[in-house]
Amino acid sequence: MPSRFIEDASAEALFAEAEQALFDGQPEEALALVGRLEARAPSGPGVAGLRASAQAALGELDAAEETLVAARKRWPEDLDLLCAHAELLVTGSEEDRPRIEEGLGLVAKGLKWARKRGDTELVFELLLLEGIGRNQLGECTVALGSLEAALELQPRAVEPRLERALALFELCRFSAAEESLHALVVDAPEEPWAHHTLGLLAERRRDAKTARRWFRRAQELAPEDFPPPVQLTEEEFDRALADALEQLPAHVKDSLENTTIAVEEIPTEDDLLGSMPPLSPTILGLFKGHAVPHRELLEPSHHLTCSIVLYQRNLERFARTREELIEQIGITVMHEVGHLIGLDEEDLWERGLE
């Protein structure tokens, strides 16, 4: 990030030192240097952006946002600050849909400014960010368009290639995803998400040996992101499922009268492609059938047996501890039973069952 409004040569050197500390993975040192810089030179948008980046790297996301909001009020036309704010909202919000959508609104605004200025580097960064955000929201078809546009600008860039492959995987375009990921690990052999996703693809082919190899490499590269999955025996999993069903309210249990409950390893392609857009291959559970409130008395197909399926391997990968896994089994049961009784995804989200 440029050190605009820094005219003092020594302050300029301090700014560069702070940037280097952040690049070297030393955000605390970077933040201390920014403090020294702010004490001796008029603060500009570049300094504010650097402070926010250091705060974000330390996990102080609220503080980083406060820094950026204040800086953008002071320098409302600064494109770098707008983009930094967009990146924080999109990449620092995990599953917080409203914040991601807010960030994507800033991305759209930034793209207009960047294209008007002819800043192709910034256009690339914003298109990548748009692809990441749309992937996070499950809007993978839209994400592909942004990522393809980014790759037109930088065809060999690793990040958009990875995001594109992940979008293809989520859209169940498995052959295209696998081809992209194999090419990617040649150019970026230490990209853990590529190895992990290749493991998921091998697992779908029932190639357990190859899947274990890919998963093991992802765990070696990023042990915090890809710890060994928590595993339950078949009996333990069935007991956790039975306990979850037992805890359902009585009126909800009555709705299960014509519904089967099953456990499978992972979803089949038929499961995934039965919806448009396709369901994610990493779904934890699935309700199949007609929700109780939407059944019509004179429509025979509406009274066929429904089913709720839990996908054990996906659930085991989702959890970090045995306790979390058992809790998530219960949440997934409630989520799918919610569909049975007519709740949509927004209803479930409001109840904390997304």
Start-to-end C-alpha separation, the chain = 38
What is the rounded average pLDDT of the residues 204-225? 97
pLDDT at 121 over 70: yes
Question: Which tens digit of pLDDT belongs to each residue from 260-302?
Answer: 999 999 999 999 998 888 999 999 999 988 676 555 554 555 5
Q: What is the 3-state secondary structure (H, E, C) of 106-152?
A: HHHHHHHHHHHHCCHHHHHHHHHHHHHHHHHCCCHHHHHHHHHHHHH
Question: Which tens digit of pLDDT belongs to each residue from 229-246?
Answer: 999 999 999 999 999 999
d(CA 80, CA 240): 50
d(CA 155, CA 148): 9
d(CA 45, CA 315): 44
Q: Among 17, 7, 80, 93, which Cα is nearest to 49's?
A: 80
b/e string for 41-70 if b means 16 or more Cβ within 10 A? bebbbbbbbbbbbbbbbeebbebbbebbee
What is the rounded average pLDDT of the residues 320-325? 95
276 Rama sector, left if φ>0, alpha if ψ -120 to 50, beta otherwise: beta
38: tokens are: 């702010």
Residue 300, preceding bond cis, omega within 30 degrees? Answer: no
331 contacts: CB under 8 Å, gap ≥ 6: 353
pLDDT at 303 over 90: no
240, 322 Cβ separation under 8 angstroms: no
259-264, strands of its sheet edge to edge: 259-264, 306-311, 285-288
* Kind plus residue range of the DSSP H or E element containing 306: strand 306-311
Q: What is the DSSP letter of 305?
A: P
Higher-pLDDT residue of 323 and 301 is 323
Question: Which tens digit of pLDDT belongs to each residue from 128-162?
Answer: 999 999 999 999 999 999 999 999 999 999 999 99
192: tokens are: 């853990």
Coil/strand/helix, residue 32: helix
What is the rounded average pLDDT of the residues 34-38? 90
Q: What is the pLDDT of residue 4?
A: 45
Higher-pLDDT residue of 42 and 4 is 42
Q: What domains are there in the chain, each with its CATH number?
A: 156-228 (1.25.40.10), 234-350 (3.30.2010.20)
99: tokens are: 């914040």
- One-letter amino acid identity for 163? E
pLDDT band at 317 (very low <50, low <70, confident <90, very high): very high
pLDDT band at 3 (very low <50, low <70, confident <90, very high): very low
Residue 294's φ and ψ, nearest 5 degrees, are -100, 5
13 contacts: CB under 8 Å, gap ≥ 6: none
- One-letter amino acid identity for 33? L
Q: What is the DSSP letter of 173?
A: -
